[in-house]
Amino acid sequence: SRAVLAPSYGLIVLLAAGRAEGARSLSGAMPLMEVPLTPQQERVELRRSLSVPNAVRAKKLPTQAYLRAVEKGDVKALRMMAIEADAELSGVRSKNHFGCDPVHLLDSSHHLTGHEQRKIRHQFGELPQLINALGTAKALPSRASKSMSKTLSEDDTLSRGASKMSRATAVSSFSKSNGMTNKMARTESNLTRLAGTLGAPDHVCQAAKTQPALMLESAKHGEQSLPALAGSLKSEQLAVRAVHMNPQLLRVEAIKIKRILPALVSICGSSDEAAYAIATRPDLLQMERPAAIREALQAVSACFGNLKDAMWLCQQTTAPPAVRVVARQFCREDVVGEYFRVDGGQVDDKPVWCKPAAAMSHLGAKARDVFLVYCEKGVVGADNPEPCWTFTPNYTTAMRKYEVRDPDILGWAPSKKNSPDQVDEGLWHFASEAQKTQVPGLWPDDRYVDCVDAERERCPWLLSHAPIKLKKCFDSLRETLGLAWRQADPSIGTQVRFITRFKGDLVHYGGSSTFADLAAFSHVNGFNYIQLPAALAADAPPVVLTAWEPIQVLFLYSQAPADEEDPAGEEAAPPVGEEGDVEPPKSYTEILKDAGFRPLPQVATIQGLPQLNGAPEIGPEILVRTFPPGQVQVPVPLGPGGLPPLVFMRTQVCAITHKGKPCQTVKMKTYEPMYNDDKPEPTDGEEAEEAQAEEGEDQEEPAKHILWSPGELGYSGGYMILRGAEDAQFCPESETQLRIDSIEKLRVAVAFFHVHKENPDVLDATMDPRADIKPSVGSASEASRQISKSSRARKAAANAPPPPDWVRRDGWKLLEVKLQMVVQTPAGQEIASSCVYTKDLEPGRTLCVPGSGDDFMTFTMFKQVSPPRPDQLRRLLLREPALLSAGENIGFLLKRMRAELGDNLSRQVLLAGAAVVPAVGTGIESKSVGSGADGGARATWPKLCQQGSAAQFQTWVFEHRVDVLASQIGGNTSLARQLLNAIGGEKSAVTAPEIEDRCAVLRKVLNVKKALSEVLQKETKLLTVESQAFRASLEVLEGYVPSEMARAALRSKLVLLMQPQELQHLVSKVKEKFEDEFISTRLTERTSGEWVRWPDHVGKSDEEIQTWLGRIAAEERELSCKDRVRSFGAAAHGAAALAKMTGEIPDIPPLDLLS
């Protein structure tokens, strides 16, 4: 072995470099030099040892290095000097050239903190005990064991003393020496008894050198638990390594270890990973049933549809959230530091850790992100490439596998472990200045670089949760990010559950039948199951949903046994019509048909129906209907035997005709009908004709429009046709014929067919009328005649008139096709499309196709041009695996958000939070919940649900209300928070939709655009009043004054906006004294006096209002008297002038005091 003295963390550290099977073994002693050194030479050699550490033993400096370690406060260096280099701990030789022993050096080291001094002083008492215990334990003889592994020495031999006494005798003698009365004897006994339980005691001795807790743990349980660990892991070295990482494993009962650990080995894939799992998570050994781990793994794999993703989630919850790379001081500055696990990052099925550039901000522009990435192919230049962990700046989130070896790595270490903190110290290779090679495979190892766990809080282990809890959480997440939401109010519609069904789960809640197999209706294929109650009433209200995307609802019914009658049919009395006629009850097919449901076309039949246990077999008919985004009402009639239906839901392109009927999505195949089987509602005369026809013999099926040739728009070209009802074909250009909604990007194609104006089944005059032969393929001559007919139809289509004007106006593009689409009419004639126009529909948008009038018959097709959408929930869980165990928090947060933010804003926030990848190293802390008050970044809801508390949930939702108010007042977040705190803060009952509505109404009523913040600062309580009050106040004033004057009055006194009833009461009191016209005149013209003081009397008592009206009456009398005196005799036809002209005094009317 080699002994080296090197400065670690600014001190001299003695390490041994010998290794056996990847681990170092420190043993033996180096010969001492015969020539003594003077104190001056000793100091010089000590300084030189910083650059030449291998000379430490040769220069007789272990004791001096020990003293320097005490003086500097380096516990690691101090222990290595005492244990490995045989430094003198006390005595006349344990002094420096100033004559100071370790105790005096520690007392004079005032640069050390009190905590650091206590740690060094603790070593003075612990090191003699450890050295004594190690010497005793090494003297134990070896014995054979099934789990015995190789020792840590380089020559693969057992390096222990030559004692020939038997093992039992040695343990017995050591345990009874000195009566076990002092602490040194107890520690010696503990370590000796632990080492005696293994076939290779050296493992325990080597582990005790760096983990003194092993000799402090009671050997009473350790004598049982350590052999149980070694036996279950089939390796003594792995058992000791696990105990070294977590000495508390020695306190676990052996029976628990033997019960749980084998299952962990099979789940984790190897004994190494199982040992690491129990060392970092000792609570796993407290599980009662090992089968629960396998059941949880099966539940997770069922959620994702594959075992690989489930194992990846389990691996992420086992890996540390952060690791720390350490090295000598001022060395390896580009790689040392704390690395945080990249959420969802994986390369070669291993996690990725990152040290952000912000950790090296002192380097300025040279700072960059450094990643810890696993490489299966090894490094460049290695003789025998093997998997390794590498430091590299070259990583992107798109990387999933190393295609070639990275030549720009900064360092590497050979390992197949799942995390870099499991790599032994000293195995990391870096470029050396002494060796000017740029080939990573030839780099030497740096014995002082180590990667350790950063000891940050770990999330709960995924497989430690009950399977039912994992399934419920997955269901909650699918609803949160799914296609539709249930109504928040439980009193609206039939209450259902959104669940992901697995094998063995209930078909209806409260029932007994279960799913045996979902076949093609599994959630992996995009289906969502709406679970109805088993005791569903026959008159149950419809299910009310809020659809966020265009959806397709599918109904499946069980077949009733042949000998079973409907029990409800005998008890329920049929309804009676107006004239006493008995109306038969509608069947479930009639109810669904009235709601727009139609049988799934044969060309779109889903392969495979669900299989049930404890219920009749499901019938072959599937009733489907598409719904656009918005509120959806789905009826749920009972099926045969009174059994509830099976209701599934998936995303689908939705097209609604101008008559409100949905279209079906059908593959473009030859001889397919061009319209649904819907018949237009018959008139009275048509009903009579149908009744007469039903009395006769069976009628032949009427002819239909069929697809004779799809041309270049067939299914092979990726096109599907939107098939609607025949009565919705012709539509005026001023109306919308078809409304298409899609969550994917589509290319919509409209084929135009020129038809006769009066009868669409008859060809136009420009076409060849010889077309009375129905489709037949009985002979070659008939086939050739059909081909010639199609060619004549295509030639005739060239003379068709131009398409409607909206084609050019709305930006539709002409699609050049060599082979036109041909449709055969019920009369047997074939019409070729005159032209085809296309337009792209962006995701989440709506395309309105106008009508084409009576000149054209149109058919609409589409094909998806965007790549398939990735499963957002899967990507989120692969990035945040602990979210799968936070079901209660997710449900609580969703309920709180819908109550305070509304459905629309909640949906936007949830989708945005699920898509955001948090910055490396960020977590959920109290300072990171909100933004604005402390300037920190707001945590996303997945992080919040994993680690947040109820108070943090409340603050997080409140901050989104602050954002809503800030968007209404110009983006001032601090002012918005101040306003909301003024009306109750987090406990305020004002929701985000109410804030938006009230601010919009205020802006309209007061006619302000940018000054809304000033209005709310003057009267913050406006946020707590319903918006109807603002409109009502304005309407009262507009009845008597102009609109602008009324708004000005409201702006001058904002409290009037909150007093519409008081304002109306004041007006009613004034109207008792004056006419409406008079009131309007006075309020409009007067600028002084009692009339202009009307705002001060809103909300006052009747006595105060009457007093004010009295003052108004007095004011009016005074004005009337002044007018009377002013007009008396002054006018040309006044009383004096009339008296002079006529000689008679005219009658003067009395003064009206009230008016």
pLDDT tens-place string over residues 585-596: 788 999 999 998
Distance separating alpha carbons of residues 681 and 642, to the nearest angstrom: 30
Provide the pLDDT for residue 769.
Answer: 36
H helix intervals, 810-924: 872-879, 887-900, 902-915
Local structure of residue 684 (DSSP, 8 states): H
156: tokens are 């693969």
* φ and ψ at residue 557, rounded to 5 degrees: -125, 145
446: tokens are 């740096």
More confident residue, 666 or 26: 666
Closest CA to 344 of 886, 915, 880, 921: 880
pLDDT-derived band at 390, boundaries 50, 70, 90? very high
Closest CA to 907 of 898, 916, 915: 898
Closest CA to 827 of 777, 781, 767, 750: 767
Q: Provide the β-strand partners of residue 598.
A: 624
Q: Determine how β-strand 664-667 pairs with β-strand 856-864.
A: unpaired
> In this predicted structure, which of 321-325, 654-658, 757-761 has the lowest mean pLDDT?
757-761
Give DSSP secondary structure letters for 565-587. --HHHHHSPPPB-TTSPBPPPPP
Provide the pLDDT for residue 1141.
Answer: 67
Closest CA to 26 of 76, 86, 89: 86
pLDDT-derived band at 703, boundaries 50, 70, 90? low
Residue 686 CB coordination number (10 Å): 12
Distance separating alpha carbons of residues 211 and 247, to the nearest angstrom: 8
- Is it the case that residue 644 has pLDDT exceeding 80? yes
User: Percent of the chain having pLDDT more than 90?
Assistant: 27
Distance separating alpha carbons of residues 727 and 305, to the nearest angstrom: 44
Output b/e per residue, 712-746; b: 16+ Cβ within 10 A. bbbbeeebbbbbbbbebbbbeeeeebbbbbbbbeb
Distance separating alpha carbons of residues 647 and 645, to the nearest angstrom: 6
Provide the pLDDT for residue 61.
Answer: 76
Query: Mean pLDDT for the chain?
Result: 79
Q: Determine which helix (DSSP H) or strand (DSSP E) holds 1141, and give its type and residue range.
A: helix 1135-1142
Provide the pLDDT for residue 911.
Answer: 92
Contact between 645 and 592 under an 8 Å Cβ cutoff? The reply is no
Provide the pLDDT for residue 39.
Answer: 56
Distance separating alpha carbons of residues 831 and 767, to the nearest angstrom: 9
139-149 pLDDT, tens digit per residue, is: 777 655 444 44
213-229 pLDDT, tens digit per residue, is: 777 777 777 888 888 88
Output b/e per residue, 60-96; b: 16+ Cβ within 10 A. bbbbbbbbbbbbbbbbebbbbbbbbbbbbbeeeebbb
More confident residue, 34 or 260: 260
Output b/e per residue, 342-379; b: 16+ Cβ within 10 A. bbbbbbeebbbbbbbbebbeeeeeeeebbbbbbbebbb
129: which residues sit within 8 A by CB, 6+ positions away? 183, 184, 187, 188, 215
Question: Any idea of the CA torsion for 759, 762, 767, 773, to the nearest 10 degrees?
Answer: 170
> In this predicted structure, which of 350-359, 458-467, 1048-1057, 1118-1127 has the lowest mean pLDDT?
1118-1127
Contacts from 799-808 at CB under 8 Å and sequence distance 24+? 799/766, 800/752, 800/754, 800/764, 800/766, 800/834, 800/835, 801/754, 801/855, 803/752, 803/834, 803/835, 803/837, 803/852, 803/856, 804/733, 804/850, 804/852, 804/853, 804/856, 805/733, 806/733, 806/850, 807/837
Distance separating alpha carbons of residues 906 and 253, to the nearest angstrom: 49
- Is it the case that residue 86 has pLDDT exceeding 90? no
Contact between 1 and 28 under an 8 Å Cβ cutoff? The reply is yes
Distance separating alpha carbons of residues 69 and 81, to the nearest angstrom: 9
Ramachandran area for residue 195 (φ above 0: left; ψ -120 to 50: alpha; else beta) = alpha
Mean pLDDT of 1113-1121: 84
pLDDT-derived band at 795, boundaries 50, 70, 90? low
pLDDT-derived band at 730, boundaries 50, 70, 90? confident
pLDDT-derived band at 1058, boundaries 50, 70, 90? very high
Give me Rg for the CA atoms of the chain. Answer: 44
711: which residues sit within 8 A by CB, 6+ positions away? 817, 819, 820, 821, 822, 833
Give DSSP secondary structure letters for 772-792. -PPP--SSHHHHHHHHHHHHH
Q: Is 647 helix (H, G, I), strand (E, B) or coil?
A: strand
Distance separating alpha carbons of residues 104 and 417, to the nearest angstrom: 46
Distance separating alpha carbons of residues 310 and 296, to the nearest angstrom: 10
pLDDT-derived band at 756, boundaries 50, 70, 90? low
> In this predicted structure, which of 63-77, 354-368, 684-698, 900-914 has the lowest mean pLDDT?
684-698
Question: Any idea of the CA torsion for 978, 979, 982, 984, to the nearest 10 degrees?
Answer: -100
Local structure of residue 404 (DSSP, 8 states): S
| 403, burial (CB in 10 Å: exposed 0-12, middle 13-18, buried 19+) | exposed
* φ and ψ at residue 964, rounded to 5 degrees: -65, -45
Contact between 719 and 668 under an 8 Å Cβ cutoff? The reply is yes
Provide the pLDDT for residue 1062.
Answer: 92
Sign of the alpha-carbon dihedral angle for 576, 578, 584, 589: negative
Question: Any idea of the CA torsion for 950, 955, 960, 965, to the nearest 10 degrees?
Answer: 140
pLDDT-derived band at 555, boundaries 50, 70, 90? very high
Contact between 1113 and 1154 under an 8 Å Cβ cutoff? The reply is yes
- Is it the case that residue 5 has pLDDT exceeding 70? no
End-to-end CA distance of the chain: 120
Provide the pLDDT for residue 163.
Answer: 35
User: Percent of the chain having pLDDT more than 70?
Assistant: 78
Q: Is 867 helix (H, G, I), strand (E, B) or coil?
A: coil
Residue 818 CB coordination number (10 Å): 6
Provide the pLDDT for residue 979.
Answer: 93
Distance separating alpha carbons of residues 376 and 402, to the nearest angstrom: 7
Mean pLDDT of 241-252: 88
Provide the pLDDT for residue 179.
Answer: 40
Distance separating alpha carbons of residues 293 and 284, to the nearest angstrom: 10
Closest CA to 134 of 27, 226, 219: 27
27-81 pLDDT, tens digit per residue, is: 333 333 334 555 555 555 555 554 444 444 444 578 888 888 888 888 888 888 8
Output b/e per residue, 26-40; b: 16+ Cβ within 10 A. bbeebeeeeeebeee
Distance separating alpha carbons of residues 88 and 92, to the nearest angstrom: 9
Provide the pLDDT for residue 773.
Answer: 36
128-171 pLDDT, tens digit per residue, is: 888 888 877 777 776 554 444 443 333 333 333 333 333 433 44
> In this predicted structure, which of 234-248, 538-552, 671-685, 816-830 has the lowest mean pLDDT?
671-685
pLDDT-derived band at 1136, boundaries 50, 70, 90? low
- Is it the case that residue 517 has pLDDT exceeding 70? yes
Distance separating alpha carbons of residues 405 and 394, to the nearest angstrom: 11
1137-1148 pLDDT, tens digit per residue, is: 666 667 666 666
961-978 pLDDT, tens digit per residue, is: 999 999 999 889 999 999
Provide the pLDDT for residue 191.
Answer: 79
| 575, burial (CB in 10 Å: exposed 0-12, middle 13-18, buried 19+) | exposed
- Is it the case that residue 93 has pLDDT exceeding 80? no
Q: Provide the β-strand partners of residue 657.
A: 738
Mean pLDDT of 574-582: 53
Provide the pLDDT for residue 1089.
Answer: 86
> In this predicted structure, which of 681-685, 864-868, 920-924, 972-976 has the lowest mean pLDDT?
681-685
Mean pLDDT of 722-750: 89
630-643 pLDDT, tens digit per residue, is: 999 999 999 988 89
| 606, burial (CB in 10 Å: exposed 0-12, middle 13-18, buried 19+) | middle
More confident residue, 51 or 706: 706
Q: Determine how β-strand 664-667 pairs with β-strand 822-824.
A: unpaired
- Is it the case that residue 605 has pLDDT exceeding 80? no
Provide the pLDDT for residue 648.
Answer: 94
Q: pTM for the full model? A: 0.79
- HSE at residue 1084, side-chain half, CA atoms within 13 A, is 13
